Structure 1
Amino acid sequence: MSTAADTPSDCSRAGCRAAAVWRIEWRNPKIHPVDRRKVWVACDAHRDFLRDYLAARDFPVSVSTLAPIGATAGGEGSQ
């Protein structure tokens, strides 16, 4: 039996319905406090596109693997 935690999320790229395997955390320093993080999720094909889109705007960005709720995610830091 599967649960919501077992169900993959769709990629955050507009129009993409592929299963997300990456977690992209970011914030807009002009409007978000330091402790606030927004999260997008991405498939392999759109990870770099979404990360680069945010980084080009000078937003702090980090990328890690998307893990089920309660699991520890490994990371690939980026900025």
Structure 2
Amino acid sequence: MISDDLHDDAPDDLMCSARGCRTSAAWGLRWNNPTLHAPDRRKVWLACSEHRAHLEQYLGARGFHRDTVAVGDLEPTDG
């Protein structure tokens, strides 16, 4: 089970990227589209614990998902 402890540490302005979700993000899903982006470029979708797996599967099915980190571990240069 994924802990919701990270959810409480997320800044209020970082919302989940899932359509219609207004929950604070706990996770940063780093991805890139290799046909559009340089190999080292990372875009970021934010996810709450509830939508993390769905968004990872969506990106993964397209070959875009690179990794997932806690919101607090995102670098200022991410996305």
What's the TM-score, normalizing by structure 2?
0.74
- Structure with higher Rg: it is 1
Name the structure, 1 or 2, with higher relative contact order (CA <8 Å, separation 6+). 2
Unpaired runs of 5+ residues, structure 2, are 1-9, 75-79
For residue 25 of structure 2, what is the aligned residue in structure 1? 20
The structure where helix makes up a greater share of residues is 2
What is the alpha-carbon root mean square deviation over aligned residues? 1.9
Q: Given the two structures, how large is their TM-score scaled by the length of structure 1?
A: 0.74
1:31 is aligned to 36
Structure 1, unaligned stretches of length 5 or more? 68-72, 75-79
Which letter maps to 2:29?
I
What is the count of residue pairs matched by the alignment? 65
Q: Deviations over 1:23-50 (max 9, x none)?
A: 1000000111112110011000000000
In structure 2, distance between residues paired with 1:17 and 1:60: 22
